[in-house]
Amino acid sequence: LRMLALADSSLIIKVDGREADQYKLYDGLDLTWQIKQKVNVEFDASDVARFWLNGQEIDITGYESFELNPAVE
Q: Tell me if 51 sits within 8 A of 58, measured CB to CB.
A: yes
Q: Tell me, what's the pLDDT at 67?
A: 94
Q: Tell me if 68 sits within 8 A of 16, measured CB to CB.
A: no
User: How far, CA to CA in Å, does 30 sit from each of 7, 17, 24?
Assistant: 12, 22, 12
Q: Tell me, what's the pLDDT at 72?
A: 55
pLDDT tens digits, 17-46: 899 999 999 999 999 999 999 999 999 887
Average pLDDT, the chain: 92
pLDDT tens digits, 41-73: 999 887 899 999 999 999 998 889 999 988 654
Give the number of C-alpha atoms closer than 13 A to the C-alpha of residue 61, restricted to the C-beta side: 2
